[in-house]
Amino acid sequence: MEIKSKVFSNNQPIPSKYTCDGENINPELEFLNIPENTQSLILIMDDPDAPSGNFTHWVMSDISPRIKKIEENSVPQGVAQGLNGAGRNNYTGPCPPSGTHRYYFKLYALDNKIFLTMEMGKAEVEKAMEGHIIDKAELIGLYQRH
């Protein structure tokens, strides 16, 4: 399984358009080689370099395995968004206070569905995924404010 973006490569800078210095919209993401028996996909974007610990930028659940792409600035129909670190149900782009931070876009293939509520954050989703992960892929983007 693989997750990639046409706007940045693994371990390369995320264009400022997708950050707090730009339009703060999600980049296009592509999902490849999803296992055949996948019932749903989960996407979590977080920053382990945040001063307060790991900051969650985006949580998406119940992504159909038939969805091969998330378009720029969009959420596919039927996909649920959980709480990010700012307490909102949406994408919040990179906005590091200092230095270069790493942003992990983690894609999980599950053998079941998690019915995400708007009150659930990353911790609840990770707990619900336990024992159901078939495969995992990640894409790391870097960002430093200028």
**Confidence check: pLDDT of 133 > 80:** yes
- The pLDDT > 70 percentage for the chain reads 100
Q: Which residues of 109-131 are buried (b: 16+ CB within 10 A; e: fewer)?
A: bbeebbebeeebbbebbeebbee
Q: What is the DSSP string of the chain?
A: -EEE-SS--TTEEPPGGGSTTTT--PPPEEEES--TT--EEEEEEEETT-TTS-EEEEEEEEE-TT--EE-TT---TT-EE---TTS-SS------SSS-EEEEEEEEEESS-----TT--HHHHHHHHTT-EEEEEEEEEEE---
Lay out the sheet containing 2-4: strands in order across: 2-4, 29-32, 69-70
Let me know the angle formed at the C-alpha of 128 by 125 and 133, rounded to the nearest 5 degrees: 95
pLDDT band with cut points at 50, 70 and 90 for residue 70: very high
Please tell me the predicted confidence (pLDDT) of residue 138: 98
pTM of the entire structure? 0.96
Domain residue limits at 85? 2-143
Please tell me the predicted confidence (pLDDT) of residue 119: 87
Domain count of the chain? 1
The amino acid occupying position 34 is: I
Instruction: Write the pLDDT tens digit of every residue in 19-52.
Output: 999 999 999 999 999 999 999 999 999 999 999 8
Q: What is the CATH number of the domain that holds 51?
A: 3.90.280.10
